[in-house]
Chain A
C-alpha cells in the first residue's frame, strides 16, 4: 500500500465533491441521532464501568496480598490486568476524549481525568486527541503511524536499520505506556535539540511525565509490594504488578495496531490535504484510515470500543457504548458511497498489522518475491543491501522490482 494519491486507482476517484458533501451530511445526521437520545442509561453505563473497575482493582489487589498462595496470585494477576485494561481503554481513553463531558460531572470529565498510565493526561490529550485525531494517517503529521520510529509505508525509503523494526515493535508493545509517554513528549525530536535550546514547554512536560512515571512506579513496584511484606508476598505482588502492566501494554498496543495498521488501511500525503479540508473530506479520511475489529460485547468492552475504530474516528466524542448501534448505519454509508468498510476478527487484524510491520522492515517487494527456492539468493541480496551503500541499495531495489514484475507476468 502507498499513500492514496499515488495509487494507480484511487479508492475515492468515483466520488465527486458533492458526493463527499452529502456523505458528510449523512454522517452528521447519525451523530445527531445519538446526541438526541443520549441520556440516563448512557450515564448509568459509564458509572457502572467506573464502579466495577474500581472494585475489581481493589479486590484484585486485596487477593494479591495472599499471593504467597499460588491460585491467589493467578486470580489477582488476571483481575489486576483486566482492571488496568478497563481503566485505560473503556474509561481513561474515552473520558479524556470528552465522551462523557455532557454529564457535567466534574469527576468524569475530560478536563479532570488522569489515567493509570505513564503518559500524563495532558500530554496524551495533545498528541492523541488533537494531533492523531485531526491529522489521522497523514504521513509525517500523524505520529501514531509508527510512532516516528518505524517504517509504515512503501514511500518511506528503506534503510537497514528498519530490519529490526519487528523486534522494536515487540518491545514497544511490552512497554507501550512508556512508548506513549515518549511519543507525547516527541522525545526523539526534542532530545536531538541541544539541552540549552530545548523549549521551556518541553522541559515542563518532561518534568511532569517523569513525576507521573515515578508515582506510577512507586504505586506498582513499591507501595503494593510493601503492603504485601507482612504477608510474605512482596516479590509475588511486584511480579503481578509488572505482569499486569505488560499485559495491559501488549493488549492496548494490539488494539491500537488493529485500528490503523492492517493491510488495506489508507494513508495520506501531507501535501494532498487542503488547508480548507471540508467536513466531508475529513470524514472521508477517517473512513479510509481506520479499521474495525469484529467481535462480541466482551471484545468491545475490553478494547474500549476501539473495536469500532471507524465509528470512533468519525465521532470521537460520542459515548463509546453507542458505537455498536451506529456501526450498521455507518456501514450503510460506506456501501452507499462504494467505500471499503475494513473489519475483521482480532487475530486476523493483528496478523495483518504484524505482517505489514515485517514486510516494511524489508525492502519493498522483498517479501513478496521470496519463495523457498530463491531464498538463498534473496538472503544474499538482502545482506548486500544491508551492508552496502545507497548505490548498491538502489541497484538491488531495481532488481527486486524487476523480479516482482516478472513474477506478476508469469502468474
Chain B
C-alpha cells in the first residue's frame, strides 16, 4: 500500500493574512454594520482609500459670471494632463448633482487642481459654484479623463509646435490649462501658438488679463474677438486671420455651432483638428413630455404611457423588477435610471438623468410611482 503525498507548494501569503489585513478585519468587525471607511470618512474625507473627494481651498472670481475653484484633491488623485476634464459632484440645495469641468491648471507643485466655471443662465450647478461655493466645502470627484491634450512631442521636439487654439466663451478653460502648463515654469516651453478667442465683450474674457499678458510677453499670438461688436466668428475668416493656418494643428473648444463648422472646414482642407465638446444642451421640452420608450438592462424596450408606472410597464413585459407597496410608500422598488426622464405620478415632479451627470450608476427612482416623460433607460432586469 502506498500513499500519495502531494508536493507541498510554497504558496504566496493568501489574501487577508498580512498584519495590515488582519487589523483591518478587526477594525471592520468593531464598527459593523459600518466599515472602517465610514468611520474614517468622519475625520479624514481626503485620505487614501476614500472615495475620491476634493476640498475647496480657494474661490477666485474671474469675471462677473465666472470663478475659479481651487481644490485639494483626495490622496488617491492620480494626476492629470492639461486639457483634461474632471467630473465633480456638488450638493446644490442638498441634492448631489454631477457636472464635468475642464481642469484649468496644469499639474501644480502644491498638488491642487482647479476648475473654472462660468455661470450659465439657469445653470443650477454652475451658478452654485460661481456664487455660493465656499472654502472648506467638500465636493465629490472622479479621476481626470479626456484626450483633448497636447501631443507629448510638444515638450520634446526642438522645433516649437505650431498650434492654433480656437475657443469661445468658457471653451477657453481646457486651453488655459495647457498654456499655464507650458508657460508657468522657470523656462517657458517654446511654442508657436495662435489663440483665437471669442467672447461677448472685452470684460467677458475669462482669464483675459492672463491671456493678454502671455501675448505681451510674446508667448502667444492672441486674437480676441468680441462678438458683441465684431459679430460671430465665421470659419471662412480663418485663412485671413491666421495666414499660416495649413501649418498648424488646431485645438478647438466652444459652442457646438463653431465646432461643427470647424470640423467640416478642417476635414475639407485636410487639416488636423482636436475638438473638446462640452455637454450637449440640456434636454428641453420635458415639461410636457408624457410617456416614451423605457429600456431595461435585459434589452427589453417597452412603449409606456404617461400614466403607466414603469414598474407596471416592466412587469407586463416580463422584466424581473423589485416591488413593494406599489403606492410610493415603501421604497422597495427603487432602481437606478441611467438616462432620460421620469415624472412622479403623485405630483408631476420631473427627475432627469443625463448620462455623465449622475452619480455612479445613475439616479435611483421609485418605479411604482414614476412614469416615462420621454424615453428613459432603467438599470434593472439584467
Of B31-39, B119-127, B197-205, B225-233, the stretch lying at the interface with chain A is B31-39
- Surface stretch bound by B, among A104-112, A184-192, A200-208, A364-372: A104-112
Q: A58-B39, A103-B96 are in contact. Are A129 and B364 (CB under 8 A)?
A: no
B242 on the interface (CB 8 Å rule)? no
A104: which of B42, B332, B347, B359 is its contact (CB, 8 Å)?
B359
Cβ-defined partner of B42 (8 Å) among A51, A98, A109, A134: A51
> B94 touching A103 by the CB < 8 A rule?
yes
Report A212-268 residues with CB < 8 Å from chain B CB: 212, 215-216, 218-219, 223-224, 227
A233 vs B131: C-alpha distance in the bound complex, in angstroms? 53
Q: Is the CB of B334 within 8 A of A98?
A: yes
A28 to chain B, nearest CB (A): 7
Pair B29/A218 contact, Cβ less than 8 Å: yes
Q: Which of B76-84, B267-275, B321-329 contacts A (4 or more CB under 8 A)?
A: B321-329
Contact A130 B334 (CB under 8 A): no
Contact A39 B347 (CB under 8 A): no
A42 and B94 form a contact (CB under 8 A): yes
Min C-beta distance of B369 to chain A, whole Å: 10
Count contacts on A: residues with CB < 8 A to the other chain. Answer: 47
Residues in chain B near residue A223, CB distance under 8 A: 26, 29-30
Closest chain-B Cβ to A189's Cβ sits at a distance in Å of 20
Known: A129-B331, A133-B325, A133-B329. A114 touches B30 (CB 8 A): no
- Per-residue CB contact flags for chain B residues 86-116 toward chain A (1 = under 8 Å, else 0) read 0000010111110000000000000000000
Question: Main secondary structure on chain A at its contact with chain B?
Answer: helix
Closest 4 CB pairs of A and B: A43-B94, A98-B331, A129-B330, A114-B33
Contact between chains at B95 and A104 (CB < 8 Å): yes
Q: Which residue in chain A gives the minimum CB-CB distance to B362?
A: A104
Inter-chain CA distance A41–B91, complex, in Å, is 11
Query: Is B349 an interface residue, CB under 8 A from the partner?
Result: yes
Asked if A40 and B329 sit within 8 Å, CB to CB, the answer is no
CB-CB under 8 A for A111 and B334, given A103-B94, A104-B359: yes
Determine whether the beta carbon of A219 is less than 8 Å from that of B29. Answer: yes
Least CB distance, B364 to chain A, in whole angstroms: 6
Contact B331 A54 (CB under 8 A): no
Closest Cβ of chain B: how far from A408's Cβ, in Å? Answer: 42
With A28-B346, A54-B39, A219-B32 in contact, do A134 and B94 touch (Cβ < 8 Å)?
no
Q: Does B220 contact A (CB under 8 A)?
A: no
Interchain CA distance A179-B325 in the complex, whole Å: 23
Closest to A50 in B: B42
Contact with B along A81-116 (1 / 0, CB 8 A): 000000000000000111001111111011100111
Partner of A97, one of B33, B41, B97, B331: B331
**How near does chain A come to B347, taking the closest CB pair, in angstroms?**
6
Partner of A130, one of B33, B34, B325: B325
Q: For residue B34, which residues in chain A have a CB less than 8 angstroms away from its CB?
A: 54, 114
Separation in Å of the A363 CB from the closest CB of chain B? 37
Which residue in chain A gives the minimum CB-CB distance to B41?
A107
Output the residue of B93, B97, B330, B346 with the most chain A CB within 10 A. Answer: B330
Distance in angstroms from A128 CB to nearest chain B CB is: 8
**Contact of A125 with B by CB under 8 A:** yes
Q: With contacts A106-B359, A115-B33 known, is A129 near B95, CB below 8 A?
A: no
Q: How far does the alpha carbon of A282 sit from the alpha carbon of B327 in the complex, in Å?
A: 10
Closest A residue to B344 by beta carbon equals: A35
Closest CB of chain B to A58's CB: distance in Å?
Answer: 7
B363 within 8 A of A: yes
Closest A residue to B334 by CB, please name it.
Answer: A111
Contact residue among A40, A109, A115 (Cβ-Cβ distance under 8 Å from B91): A40
Which B residues lie within 8 Å of A40 (CB)? 91, 93-94
A residues 11-65 near B (Cβ < 8 Å) are 28, 32, 35, 38-44, 51, 54-55, 58
Question: A44 contacts which chain B residues (CB < 8 A)?
Answer: 94
Tell me whether A129 and B94 are in contact (CB under 8 A).
Answer: no
User: Are A133 and B330 neighbours in the complex by a CB distance under 8 Å?
Assistant: yes
State whether A215 and B94 are in contact (beta carbons under 8 Å apart), knowing that A129-B332, A317-B331 are contacts in the complex: no
Tell me the residues in window 345-370 of chain B with beta carbons closer than 8 Å to chain A beta carbons.
Answer: 346-347, 349, 359-361, 363-364, 366
CB of A394 closer than 8 Å to a CB of B: no
Residues in A with CB closer than 8 Å to B360 are 106
B329 near A129 with CB under 8 A, answer: yes
Minimum CB–CB distance for A171 against chain B, Å: 25
Whether A219 contacts B30 by the Cβ 8 Å rule is: yes
Answer yes or no: A159 CB below 8 A from chain B CBs. no
Give chain B residues whose Cβ lies under 8 Å from the Cβ of A104. Answer: 95-97, 359, 363-364
Cross-interface CB contact of A38 among B94, B332, B363, cutoff 8 Å: B94
Q: Does A134 lie within 8 Å of B325, measured CB to CB? A: yes
- Determine if B330 and A39 form an interchain contact, defined as CB atoms under 8 angstroms apart: no
Whole-angstrom CA separation of A164 from B343 in the bound complex: 52
With both chains docked as a complex, state the minimum distance between the C-beta of A284 and any C-beta of chain B, in angstroms.
Answer: 15
Residue of A nearest to B349 (CB): A35
Inter-chain contacts of B93 with A (CB < 8 A): 39-40
Interface residues of A in 314-367 (CB under 8 A from B): 316-317
Identify B332's interface contact among A39, A130, A224, CB under 8 A. A130
How far, in Å, is A244 (CB) from chain B's closest CB? 15
Q: Which residues of B contact A317 (CB under 8 A)?
A: 328-329, 331
Contact partners of B347 in chain A: CB under 8 A = 28, 32, 35
Q: How far is the CB of B74 from chain A (nearest CB, A)?
A: 15
- Report Cα–Cα, A58/B27, bound state, in Å: 12
| A399 interface contact, C-beta 8 A | no
* CA distance in complex: A317, B332 (Å): 12
Q: Are A54 and B364 in contact (CB under 8 A)?
A: no
CB nearest to A215 among chain B residues = B32
Check B330–A130 contact: CB distance below 8 A: yes
**A126 lies within 8 A of chain B by Cβ:** yes
Residue interface mask A282-302, B partner, CB < 8 A = 1: 100000000000000000000
